[in-house]
Structure 1
Amino acid sequence: MRSPRRVATLFASALPIAIATGALCAGPAAAGPANGGSTYVAQPEVKRVKCITSCASKRRARAGQSQLRITGHGLGRVRTVVFHGGRGGADDVSVKVGRRTSRAVRVDVPFEAASGPVSARVSRRVRSKRSRRIRILPAPAPLPNVRLSVARGPRDAGAPRIETGTSKTRYFYGSRHGVAFSYRLRGSKSARARVSVVRASTGEAVRTWAAKTVAAGKVETVRWRGTRGGRVLGSGRYLFRVVVDGPGGATARNASVNNVRRDAFNLYGHIFPVRGRHDYGGAANRFGDDRGDHSHAGQDVFASCGTKMVAARGGRVVASGYQGSAGNYIVIDGARNGLSYVYMHMVNRSPFGVGDRVRTGERIGSVGETGNAQGCHVHFELHRGGGWYSGGRPFNPLPSLRAWDRVS
């Protein structure tokens, strides 16, 4: 929820910024085959985008349910469609196309898609211009199911009934405890059970626990923290699925293939750090604003002094203290993503010190105006490629902040 825009001039970061500029060709390209010649690839053109299945009222699309028909020219070699969402690329989602001809392609709207234009891509260099803005409603929210309740999924005659429960409907990677899934077999006979986590948009099982014999009436619980093979998976809708093999091969499942709400949760990589009414100021508060002897290295987020601030991403604290311009500040190296997160102008010093581990969503301080600041706000920076003061490079955090804001 955002407050009316405030007028202020904010902290001027002491870090220099090196900005590299370049051009990316969006027009036709030539591919060089082995004989030294070239193959001309026409730039696709998107003329119209229309929702054709599982549409909401007024032909609006719904994330995770609808299918779009994109018409235009030169679409026969299109491989993917990009849903661009808001400004910047933080919430862009790329999906493979389905049926296609030179004049039309079909594509499913992914769970992660937000309202915005789309573009059709043949390759990284050959792509269409963006379409008009497409209105996309969010997918139906997962059903809260903290306590065990009867799961009415597909069930063969003679198979045991299943009760299931899921601890939360949203999980921010790096927050405490992960997502717990519990289940219990009704009746008097034991059976073999196998649990998986499935990505709703693809149907792919991203984590499967070994099948085991489960006694009737006993609650079994598994827990997942959003990773596979040590890698954090992308944001989106995930589903717990349990398959129980009863006597004589009779099988029971907690939900049908098309049920994306039962024992479901949304996984996010970040949470918005300011937990109260806020706004982003004006042009002077943006990344790259000219401050005379340097450029503004972050984005300012205004909120009332004392507003709760949390870690957008968990990780290890690499700097914490007070500095004349930054005021009270803290720097956290994010878990498993190579980014540094910088928060400045807090009311008081953070209780976390260098070397401490911080969880996503854990309180790190309160919005203030210490140091060289006018107006209560947090000066927020993101650094990649070595981290803060270690050869890293700051980049514009506003697209990321807006994307986190929408889901937090």
Structure 2
Amino acid sequence: MKKSALAPEHKPDKVDDAPLANDGVLPTDVLRDVLLRLPAKALCHRIRLVCRSWRLLTSDPVFVQAHKFLHPLIAGLHEDQREIHIIDLHGNTIIRRIPVPRACNDLTTQLDVVCASAIKEPSFVLEKGQREVSALPELQLVGDTTFFPSVLGYVPSTGEYKVLFFKLYCTNNHGHVQPCHVISLNGGNRRWRVAPRPAVPVEPAPGNRAVIGGVAYFLMNPYNVNCPDDLEPDSIASFDLEAEEWMPTPLRGPLSSLLSAGGDALSYKKHRHNFQLTELNGSLVIVHCKNRGRSMDIWFLMDIDKAKGIWCKRYSMQCASEWEYNRRFYPVIILDDGRIVMWNRIGQIMRAYDPRTSTWSTVMGTGGGMYVAVGTYVVGSLLL
């Protein structure tokens, strides 16, 4: 399996390096700063029509890259309107609306492909360059079955997009088994294939999953009734999307790795709910919600050595209130200015934590009852 390392994004060249293009009314640096703050729609449909110099400035590759970097896009699943919204996070502006045929309760993204999970099958996929979603084939559910959100993955080595689907059955001895299916989106012959099931049931819900570098990572299901005695609460199961098989040994989380060095251990049933797993700017991270002090630590996976992971705690955040801590924000993206955008599914709100000042600010508030899931949406610049 490939190493997972903290990979900082390459920032674009300074906008000051772009060709001079000004009408003389404003200083060039001031004009650039103002135009960079505008959404892509306004730049393309209005600003470029003002004069030739402004058109040249906003079309310059340096400006285009700087604008893309400053305007991260978020895909949000709107529950009431049954739509996928592509949102410019900088201005909290909806730039695209894509209808979804039926009610969905979860969303996963990979680059500019989106998968919306229906409350009942099938799930829907918005593929690259498409304006409408397409439905995935249905799977036959037999017996007393619990099913989970579909998880979208991407395999960089092959360019394939794949979707994982999990079911959960109760066995006669009151245990659980979790069949797994996979489907490839590339090509016209879409059929579900049976994949190996995990040794211990995993949790594919938001805050418990991440897909990076062709590998899907999952925390274990918090309600496992037949989990091994030595299962650690921050253990991570890994599924190789290209080979379509589970890694034989779980990846150890940051807290278990530290405690085991001193001969201590965490209780799975007591501490499992204190951990969340997600992808943050290309890195695998675990969020540890600490019971004392209403604080959260964000640990980054720096390297993988078989079952022993090397983790680094990069942020320790004090929650603004008991309400925020109870809802457990989980990180979505790190902005250009270093702020960490956190999503609160229950509160339907995005807040940004500034590690320089240890303060919180609202980035996107939905007004209640709207977005049930969000994910990053990485696409070529909207100015091109």
**What TM-score results when the alignment is normalised by the length of structure 1?**
0.24
Instruction: Give the greater-gyration-radius structure (CA).
Output: 1
**What TM-score results when the alignment is normalised by the length of structure 2?**
0.25
Query: Of Structure 1 and Structure 2, which has the larger fraction of its residues in helix?
Result: 2
